[in-house]
Structure 1
Amino acid sequence: MVEKGICFRLGRERYVHPISTIKEVLSYQSPAPVPGAPEGVEGMINVRGNMVTIMYGSHLLSLDPAECEEEGHIIVLDLPTGYVGIRVEAVERIMDLPENNDTHGLEYRDHDCIQGTIQYDNDLYILVEFDEYCAALD
């Protein structure tokens, strides 16, 4: 079975996250602020009776928030610790991920979430996995 990934945009870059832990993609909705929340947490929303913590994708990937202002979508992850939403500018498509993790290293950006890069239809995508990083924030 070929693993699939969801492609999204933040700032000038395109990313892909494996779809295995993604519960759903929502249109952006402004979350309620959470007093005393850690940096990077925008707030919380209620999705069909489940509370979802919304985090800025720009914060998770150490990007300049000024380059990622557009409100677009929330990617909801279903993690053992609960639901976490990642705010991104746009979700573009679902694509097949390469077999055998055939990804290329990404020398200029060292980050726990970044796994490498994928070349797909003449576009470069940065492969990310937020699961472990977000679960550790709990």
Structure 2
Amino acid sequence: MESLSKGICFRLGSEQYLHPLSTVKEVLSYQESAPVPGSGAGVEGMIEVRGNMVTVLYGSYLLDLDPEECKEEGHIIVLDLPSGYFGIRVEGVEKVMDLPDSQTTQTLEYKESEFVQGTMQRDDELYILVDFSDYCKTLS
């Protein structure tokens, strides 16, 4: 029997997303970040979490969603990457689920994004599989 990897399910706008759990350090309730002068679009700012500086990014910006549809971005998913700590601001974190193997992942036709790796149908719900790790490496 093959071992399944896990993903963290989060919500932004009307969509549900799954990000690999292997890079997730923790999930925080939203806290205001300090602005970073000269930072790129999509960067909200920096927060300190247990002595580590975390760059906070807007999930709505990364996924090209209308910020008006994502008003309640109330959680930050902190990613622990070789290039540092990055926080992705999302509306809500719902659960941890098994990620599908590549044979059961469907490609996504309706949305172009460098983060989207496919979709998964489970219990009559559509989940969009995303991974922000490579993008965050480019910011460090």
- The TM-score with structure 1 as length reference comes to 0.96
1:16-56 deviation digits (Å, cap 9, x = unpaired): 00101111111111111111111100010000000000000
What residue is the counterpart of 1:58 in the other structure?
60
Unpaired segments ≥5 residues, structure 2: none
What residue is the counterpart of 1:92 in the other structure?
94
Identify if the C-alpha distance between structure 1 residues 113 and 44 changes in structure 2 by more than 3 Å, giving closer, same or farther.
same
Unpaired segments ≥5 residues, structure 1: none
Q: Which runs of 4+ in 1 moved over 4 A?
A: none
What residue is the counterpart of 1:110 in the other structure?
112
SS of the aligned residue for 2:134 comes to: helix
**1:71 CA displacement:** 3.0
96-105 vs 28-37, which deviates more? 96-105
SS of the aligned residue for 1:99 comes to: coil
Q: Distance in 1 between matches of 2:103 and 2:80?
A: 22
Percent of pairs with identical residues: 66
Q: Distance in 2 between matches of 1:97 and 1:10?
A: 19
What residue is the counterpart of 1:10 in the other structure?
12
1:53-102 deviation digits (Å, cap 9, x = unpaired): 00000111111111111131100001111000000000000001112452
Q: Distance in 2 between matches of 1:24 and 1:89?
A: 15
- The TM-score with structure 2 as length reference comes to 0.95
Q: Distance in 2 between matches of 1:47 and 1:58?
A: 22
Q: How does 1:1-138 map onto structure 2 within 5 Å?
A: 1-138=3-140
62-71 vs 125-134, which deviates more? 62-71
28-37 vs 84-93, which deviates more? 28-37
**Matched AA of 2:98:** D
